[in-house]
Amino acid sequence: MDSRPEAEATTRFDAGAVRADFPILERRIHGRPLVYLDNAATSQKPRPVVEAMAAYYATINANVHRGVHTLSILATEAQEAARETVRGHLNARHAHEVIFTAGTTASLNLAAFSLGQLLLQPGDEVLITGMEHHANIVPWQLACARHGAVLKVIPITDEGELEESGDAHFTERTRILAFTHASNTLGTVNPAKHLVSRARQRGIVTVVDGAQAVPHMAVDVQDLGCDLYAFSGHKMFGPTGIGVLYGREEVLERMPPWQSGGEMIDRVTFQHTTYAKLPFKFEAGTPHIAGIIGLGEAVRWIHGNDPRAMAAHEQALLEHATRELLTIDGLRIIGTAREKVGVASFTIDGVHHYDLGTLLDQQGIAVRTGHHCTQPLMDRFGITGTTRASFAPYNTAEEVDALVAAVIKAVNMLR
């Protein structure tokens, strides 16, 4: 076992030290040690994140902005410090380019509604890819329906990569390109910088779904050059219910508000309303203050644990899992792109993914089964769903081995 090339990389990374920050990993499920391999759905939360959120509620709980009392000032300072932390993590130019939302889905709905209002006319085109999550399909379908536009799709290959270079599908009517940076089902990492560059040459606005990329790689939005970039806190060791929409200042300034109410206004009369400056123009109502603070702490936790080493560790786990899973008779990996994040989706001849997931749970192993909110992608591969194992820095090679052994045991029971 230790002779495998990736084992050396794995042993250099101290996954045990990382695991110590995650109390849930000490749980037992059905009498077995928990092996949590459902990180693409949501990651676990380290103690500093949990403690930061609890400290907010226990010591400075108050609404933010406009309040002149001490607790409101402290809460505001904590929230805006988190915004600056996220700005630095993305290398955005300005903190006001960081919009807090309820998650990637909310960010993409904001983008689709507002850009649709701003850009789309009858006959215009929105271009997405064949590997998109439903959250990056349905909002654009709705936007196209509202404005008489057309949704077009870049096809994907049998390996799970974009056909050609993707930009061959641009036309003179393409107004928006919206695509996933990394696929939640296939693990495919798309050539984001290339796609954005070619789109910008044509004046096409770019929206990137970064939900599966931000937890696993460095994302520099200035280097990418994208107009909008969306992601969630809960997939990167932060809390649920909080996400980010980064936007270039000049684009956000042009976009109309998505939701309305308190905080996003400057002046309201019964005849007319003017809107607040960025970022508050897009942050109507009381925000998820504890979630924002928790997200900031999650980003600080990532940077305190050598992000490059964590990414290399995840890649080692993916390589090991891929090789070992393929030794199982009838098992097929769905998504064999040259560049992937730590996602291994697979089917097994004669075995339903739900049955397999249930038997794996009985052995303490948490994986995701189903269509993963990518039904058009499932149709492309002629399947109804997959079993998906997805990795985080706290996972180990021994857990991968436990997964493979459990799959073999389950298959023997089901066939």
Catalytic site residues?
373
Pick left, alpha or beta for residue 370 (phi over 0 → left; psi -120 to 50 → alpha; otherwise beta): left
Q: By the 8 A CB rule, do 233 and 263 touch?
A: no
Q: How many CA atoms lie within 13 A of 408 on its CB side?
A: 12
What is the b/e burial string over 328-358, where b = at least 16 CB atoms within 10 angstroms of the residue's CB? eeebbbbbbbeebbbbbbbbbeebebeebbe
Torsion of CA 103, 109, 112, 113, to 10 degrees: -130
The dihedral over CA atoms of 167, 170, 174, 179, expressed in degrees to the nearest 10, equals: -30
| CB-CB contact of 176 with 207 (8 Å) | yes
Beta-sheet strand order (sheet of 331-333): 331-333, 343-348, 386-390, 368-370
Give the contacts of 415 (CB within 8 A, at least 6 positions apart): 350, 351
Smallest Cα–Cα separation from 245: which of 260, 264, 229? 229
CA distance 240 to 292: 10
| Cα gap 407→415, rounded to integer Å | 12
| Tokens 């997964």, located at residue | 403
Contacts of 135 (CB under 8 A, 6+ apart): 104, 105, 108, 109, 209, 373
